[in-house]
A and B are shown apart, each in its own frame.
Chain A
């Protein structure tokens, strides 16, 4: 039983965080970029549990699961081109 499960798990989670950050910078679609930034926040919360800081993990969970995405979505909705969206609608 010498498999270092916790270390492997941390490597996978940190890889997920970096992939999320890279996608958030590189993707063209802004909605996808916001969702990818949400992935970084999600895995960061698990990393805090691994590092034995459940208070921080709880804060990150309650803030990152909904509120950040919501504020970004409001801002995107407000600043997208109205004519283009109404043309798309009809």
Chain B
């Protein structure tokens, strides 16, 4: 029980974020269907965001928003790092845009080839 108390929270999130990246990469490499590959990509995206947020955590910190609970004078001892939060916040919206572009490519490929299995899309293979 003692080791569990001293075990940092961000380490758990960091480990599971890395495992999620590996899972998404495994899905992207082994699946043969284009939409399944895109699902793997979106899993990898979530894993990377988890890793980035967990790096910015400070032990016992609270959210970097100043109000009655966190006063301005003692804020620098209480809050977590705001910079990784700002980066991840934009990265999530970008991830949605990238996923939409990839899916529209998949729809376009289906329109011309009538299939989405990448084994059959061979004419541009090198």
Known: A18-B16, A18-B23, A68-B42. A4 touches B4 (CB 8 A): yes
Is B92 in contact with A72, judged by CB distance below 8 angstroms? no
Number of B residues contacting the other chain (C-beta, 8 Å)?
Answer: 55
Is B23 in contact with A53, judged by CB distance below 8 angstroms? no
27 contacts between A and B (CB under 8 A): A4-B7, A7-B4, A10-B9, A14-B15, A14-B16, A21-B20, A22-B23, A24-B27, A24-B40, A25-B26, A44-B49, A44-B50, A47-B50, A52-B61, A52-B62, A52-B80, A60-B49, A60-B92, A68-B99, A71-B96, A71-B99, A72-B35, A74-B103, A75-B35, A75-B103, A78-B107, A79-B107
B residues within 8 Å of A by Cβ? 1, 4-5, 7, 9-10, 12-13, 15-16, 19-20, 23-24, 26-27, 31, 33, 35-36, 38-40, 42-43, 46-47, 49-50, 53-54, 56-57, 61-63, 65, 79-80, 84-86, 88-89, 92-93, 96, 99-100, 103-104, 106-107, 110, 116
